[in-house]
Chains A and B, each alone.
Chain A
Amino acid sequence: MLRIVFGLILSFLAQVGLQGQNLEETFQLGKTNFLLGNDQTASLALERAIFFGQGKYDAEAFEMLGQIANRASQFEQAARYFGSATQTAIDEVVIGRNTLFKASAQIRNEDFQLALIELLGMSDALPDSLIQAREFLLGVSYFNIQNFTDSRIHFRQAIPPEAKNRMAQIDSLFNALESIKHPDPKKAKLMSIFLPGLGQFYAGDIKNGLNSLLLTGGFFTIGFIVAINYSLVDAMVAVVPWIQRYYVGGYNRAAGIAENKKKSKQDKVYQAILQTAVPN
């Protein structure tokens, strides 16, 4: 009896043409949800389309998955998706665009050297807009590894040749950048090697300089007292490891403080360069 009932139900369903969602519809569902910002639903549909699609949807779906990962600030994952998109795409422009997205995600993940490898390996036979975006990203990458010479060249190339005002602005900003020499981390380190705390004073951190001076000076005093009252060997064994610890820590910290101060000054110029060089 049960078999007959099931048979009837199945026959009815077959008659009314009830059928499951096909792969094309799944992919379209993923696209629509991606555009609407429903990232979780979009991811599920797109991953399904990639798995069952036998390569038909890969490039487009990986690109959208990369964007979804970008929106979630998962930049490493995003770079992987864009990398898969470049490997599965056929069109040169799509490959170029996804390479730029991959490099962009790597920059946001602070993998500047990896981004440089991607960008420098790109084809030159691309539309101007992509070439300008590539030059802009090269400028960003070189700047963040403190190669300002190459950064200037690429930021200039990101600007159309007719925009001479912007070019001049970039030049003057990089000239301003080169004039930022104070505080010099090496000088701060040497000063603190000569006298603990001096490098911090030079870098403008008075509190830290006093701290370093008093701490190292205190241990020197203790070492001197021990050497007078007991012996030089006792002083070496008991106090020198402490002096070494805070003396070395102090001059490395002086270099770090100077580096941070200098970067703060350079950062202001960097923000202005970004505003000037960003492609329209």
Chain B
Amino acid sequence: MKSIIFLCLLSSTLQAQLIDDNHYSGLYHHPVEPVKYQAAKNNTNEIQMVFSGLFLFYKFAFSSQDFNKCTFHPSCSEFGLLAVKKHGALLGMLATLDRLQRCNGMSPELYTIDPERMLLIDHP
């Protein structure tokens, strides 16, 4: 008897879940949300602010018109900004030049792959 009551309850709950159109309402269109770049936040000095500004200008004016074919995560521009923040302007720029030379995807065995993005992980 208990089992029959349970099955009735289960069946009605599951049926309601199955045909609830709210589950499918968000599927068709995915509105494009504005990208927020974490790397450009939390600047602690003027140099970082200048580089963050350059980074945001590049992202807005150039990168937005580009193909979306990054090899690495973070991308070269984000790497550059993070490197400047971490090592200072001079060493950061050198690290960025080094990264730009490595940005060809020809040695994937040297890096860990980010399974979500399917990109090679290379932090400064």
Q: Which residues in A have some Cβ–Cβ distance to B below 8 Å?
A: 31, 35, 63-64, 67, 70, 97, 100-101, 104, 107-108, 110, 129, 133, 136, 140, 143-144, 208, 211-212, 215-216, 245-246, 248-250, 252-253, 260, 263-264, 266-267, 270-271, 274-275, 277-279
Contacts and interface: CB of A to CB of B under 8 A. Distances in A.
Contact of B61 (A215, A275, A279): A215
A275 B21 contact: yes
B6 A264 contact: no
A107 B27 contact: yes
Main secondary structure of the interface of A (DSSP, over half): helix
B31 interface: yes
Contacts of B62: 215, 246
B20 to A, nearest CB: 8
Contacts of B24: 107-108, 140, 274
Contacts of B27: 107-108, 110, 140, 144
B27 to A, nearest CB: 6
Given A211-B61, A249-B66, A104 B18 contact: yes
Given A107-B24, A246-B65, A264-B31, 18 more contacts: A35-B9, A64-B10, A97-B14, A97-B18, A100-B18, A104-B18, A107-B23, A110-B27, A133-B19, A144-B27, A215-B65, A248-B67, A253-B65, A266-B28, A270-B25, A270-B28, A274-B24, A278-B19
B15 interface: yes
Contacts of B23: 104, 107-108
B16 to A, nearest CB: 11
B63 to A, nearest CB: 9
B28 A144 contact: yes
Contact of B17 (A70, A212, A252): A70
Interface string B56-92: 0000111011110000000000000000000000000
Contact of B25 (A31, A35, A133, A271): A271
B110 interface: no
Contact of A35 (B6, B15, B32, B64): B6
Central interface residue in A104, A110, A264, by most chain B CB within 10 Å: A104
28 contacts: A35-B10, A63-B14, A97-B11, A100-B18, A101-B14, A104-B23, A107-B27, A108-B24, A108-B27, A110-B27, A133-B18, A140-B24, A140-B27, A208-B64, A211-B60, A211-B65, A245-B67, A246-B62, A246-B65, A253-B64, A253-B65, A260-B32, A263-B29, A264-B29, A267-B29, A270-B25, A274-B25, A277-B21
Contacts of A215: 61-62, 65
B21 A278 contact: yes
Contacts of A64: 10
Contacts of B61: 211, 215
B65 A136 contact: no
Contacts of B9: 35
Given A143-B28, A263-B29, A67 B21 contact: no
Given A108-B23, A246-B65, A249-B67, A31 B6 contact: yes
A211 B31 CA distance: 21
Contacts of B64: 208, 211, 253
Contacts of B60: 211
Contact of B67 (A100, A133, A252): A252
A124 B7 CA distance: 23
Contacts of A270: 25, 28-29
A164 to B, nearest CB: 21
A249 B65 contact: yes
Contacts of A104: 18, 23
Nearest to B61: A211
A246 B6 contact: no
